[in-house]
Amino acid sequence: AGHQMRRGMPQLTEYVTAIGRKGTQLQNSSESVKLEISEALEIHVRELNARERALREEVETFLTGELRNLRIHKENTEGEIASLSSFCNTAESVLSISHPISDDDLVEMKSQCQEHLETVYGYEDGTIRPPTVKQIQASLESTFLSSTISNFGDLIITSRLTPTQSQVSLDVPFR
């Protein structure tokens, strides 16, 4: 019986060595899977960062356009105010002088006065309005993305015997 046990020792030693190799292979394949996971997620993080930049640029483009529209309207209105103020000052100055005003000048003043009054009435009755201020919101579908992220990836664990494993385990006599 002792002799049989001694004969089986090299096989047991080979079995232990094979288990060690399998452990090393398992560690190597696990590290490879971890690296694959990290690389896949890094790609998606880069894609999310690129999407963030694109959305932020869209917001900036929107903001720039809307501010430009408001600025132009403000400048136009300020121009109207300056023109109206200048006309009023000129008209008051001309009318305060005691010398007679020609009919042509009077007709011209009346025409300008009418134009300025139409502008003032346009602002008063709402015909001339500031541009409508548009609102912007982000629709981010956070729930969908969170769900997708939490369900991203699966691990597939298989159990297969290689020919070496099956031989080692079957050839070792345990009597």
- 61: domain range? 2-171
The pLDDT of residue 161 is: 58
Question: How far is the CA of 18 from the CAs of 60, 128, 157, in angstroms?
Answer: 62, 88, 20
The pLDDT of residue 121 is: 92
Residue by residue, pLDDT tens for the chain (175 residues) are 777 788 888 888 999 999 999 999 999 999 999 999 999 999 999 999 999 999 999 999 999 999 999 999 999 999 999 999 999 999 898 888 878 888 998 899 999 999 999 999 998 998 988 889 899 999 988 888 889 998 999 999 988 755 554 444 434 444 3
DSSP state of 130: P
Is the Cβ–Cβ distance between 114 and 84 less than 8 Å?
no
Q: How is residue 111 written in tokens?
A: 């025409």
**Close Cβ partners of 113 (under 8 Å, ≥ 6 residues apart):** 87, 91
Tell if the pTM clears 0.75, that is, is over it: no
Q: How far is CA 92 from the centre of its chain?
A: 58
Phi-psi group of 154: left, alpha or beta (phi > 0 → left; psi -120 to 50 → alpha; rest → beta): beta
Domain count, the chain: 1
Distance in angstroms (rounded) separating the CA atoms of residues 121 and 44: 58
